[in-house]
Amino acid sequence: MAVGREEVAAWLEALAAAYEENRGWLTQLDSAIGDADHGANMDRGFRAVRAELARATGHDIAALLKQTAAILIKTVGGASGPLYGTFFLRAGAACAGKTALEPDDVARAFEAGVEGVRQRGKAEVGDKTMVDALAPALIAMREALAKGGDLGAALAAAAAAAESGMRSTVPLQARKGRASYLGPRSVGHQDPGATSAWLLLRAAADAWGGKRAG
């Protein structure tokens, strides 16, 4: 079974729940190396996404993802709004014309989103940003699919790789964003953006893990 608009909406609902549940944790992480608002920002943004889902109609996956992007850019403060907005905007563009996504379509959409984040933030692996979680997740997803894994296996591998990437940010010195102003003092702290990116992957694995192509 492919991923349709209903499943994409379920993922967005799961994200809203995840950011609400982890609002305090994300804020705590951000208080060490940022502005102490990442949890509140992500929660606010996805509350707005959830509210709009109740009013949205149709079967266009691309339109739903692009709508999500616009809401996040409007409601999420700091750098996270443009970055997550770009992720969903690019992912939506990759889904143009589709009413259902096969596993390779999901990977292409995710790849487009990650590349958008890289370009927007001018960040690479090792810079102590959300890319440290997203980039290895994409590689793991692609590898799992290449080995014949189904969507559930690919997303589970991606979520595990994102978690490892998130934890890898602890010993890094930040080279991008607000945390980079701290220099060596940013070492020893987990990056909040990488953490929210892991939550994004975990929610996808939970929402779509049982889906099969065909």
Q: What is the pLDDT of residue 2?
A: 85
- Look up residue 28 and give its two tokens: 């705590």
CA gap 135, 145 in Å, rounded: 16
Residues in the chain, total: 214
Map tokens 């292409």 to a residue. Answer: 108
| CATH 3.40.190.10 at 3-208, yes or no | no
C-alpha closest to that of 155 among 194, 115, 196, 109: 109
Q: Given a cut of 80, is residue 193 above it in pLDDT?
A: yes
Q: Given a cut of 50, is residue 211 above it in pLDDT?
A: no
Q: Which of 33-42, 192-201, 204-213 has the lowest mean pLDDT?
A: 204-213
As a whole number, mean pLDDT of residues 152-162 equals: 97
Q: Given a cut of 50, is residue 34 above it in pLDDT?
A: yes
Res. 210 pLDDT band, cuts 50 70 90: low
Q: What would the pLDDT profile of 87-139 be if each residue is shown by its tens digit?
A: 999 999 999 999 999 999 999 999 999 999 999 999 999 999 999 999 999 99
pTM, rounded to two decimals: 0.94
Is residue 98 classed as helix, strand or coil in its secondary structure?
Answer: coil
Fill in the DSSP letter of residue 209.
Answer: T
**C-alpha torsion sign, points 89, 91, 94, 99:** negative
Q: Given a cut of 70, is residue 212 above it in pLDDT?
A: no
Domain regions of the chain by residue span: 3-208
